Amino acid sequence: MGLISCSNEGNVINTAENMKTSEMQNFKKAFKSLGEIQNRPTEEEKRNPELSERRKALLIPASKDLILSSGVSEKEMMAKTKGNSSSIIIWAYKIYADKSSQINQSLKSQN
């Protein structure tokens, strides 16, 4: 008597998470890292409505990677943002949101 597996081990189910690029996943992880104890805002940082430079620095590498992965050159990115960290983060967030929306639309059309 042989064993038969009932699972679909060979089938890959597309989910929004596994359709995201590594740059998108890293961007999301960077944002989640802001909630870690060592990255939470200090009392002084809480009084300022804008993200502190310390916390922005946690987002910049993943933000730049996400922007560059969209086909934008480093030179173009720096020209458009003038190197402003807030502008870089906002641009990356827009890319993340757009790509997430495209992924969700793709998943809906598959169902």
- pLDDT tens, 14-39? 677 788 899 999 999 999 999 999 99
Contact 66, 96 (CB under 8 A): yes
Helix %, strand %, coil % of the chain (to 5): 70, 0, 30
pTM of the model: 0.82
Residue 51 DSSP symbol: P
Beta carbons within 8 Å of 42's beta carbon, 6+ residues apart: 52
Q: Could you tell me which of 69, 8, 60, 1 has the C-alpha nearest to residue 33?
A: 60
Contact 91, 62 (CB under 8 A): no
Q: What is the reported pLDDT for 28?
A: 96
Q: What is the reported pLDDT for 19?
A: 84
The answer, yes or no, to whether residue 79 has pLDDT greater than 70, is yes
